[in-house]
Amino acid sequence: MLTPAERVLLFRACWNHPVARCEQCGRSYKLPDLAVDPLRRLSHLCPLCRIDLTNAARQHLISCGAAARLDAQNVVAEARALCETSAMIRKDAQQARDTARLLRAEADAARQRRAESSASVSPRAANRMP
């Protein structure tokens, strides 16, 4: 059985040309021409001989130029998406660092104000004591 990724690639890149050749009858088949046997859960059968052509379809994917180009385009598209995601993550991380710096500066300023106000209150309190 082909993997889901193999099925997608086969459907997208190889729908218009033969994808499997039956060794028994010698015929080549396009994807829509292949037979299906739902009871045995097989989906790439020779329509005449009922032989499983999954391995032939897989070998076709390995050697097919159209599939290689489409797969390469998918890899490039995935790489671009990863770069975009990475850039967004870096931007979010920078914003989080900036927010942390701002909060830290505000906390330091508040701590400084408290220290100054307690220092200014202490001498007055000391002067009031008998």
The DSSP-derived string for the chain is ---HHHHHHHHHHHTTSEEEE-TTT--EEEGGGSEEETTTTEEEE-TTT--B-HHHHHHHHHH-HHHHHHHHHHHHHHHHHHHHHHHHHHHHHHHHHHHHHHHHHHHHHHHHHHHHHHHHHHHHHHHH--
Q: What is the pLDDT of residue 79?
A: 60
Q: What is the pLDDT of residue 6?
A: 83
**Confidence check: pLDDT of 80 > 80:** no
Q: What is the pLDDT of residue 83?
A: 65
Between 100 and 65, residue with greater pLDDT: 100
Q: What is the pLDDT of residue 128?
A: 52
**Contact between residue 57 and residue 33 where contact means Cβ atoms under 8 Å apart:** no
pLDDT grade for 18, boundaries at 50, 70 and 90: very high
Portion of the chain with pLDDT greater than 90, in percent = 32
User: Domain residue spans in the chain?
Assistant: 1-63, 65-117
Q: How far apart are CA 68 and CA 62, in angstroms?
A: 8
First to last CA, the chain: 96
**Contact between residue 10 and residue 71 where contact means Cβ atoms under 8 Å apart:** no
pLDDT grade for 14, boundaries at 50, 70 and 90: confident
**Confidence check: pLDDT of 89 > 60:** yes
Q: How far apart are CA 55 and CA 44, in angstroms?
A: 9
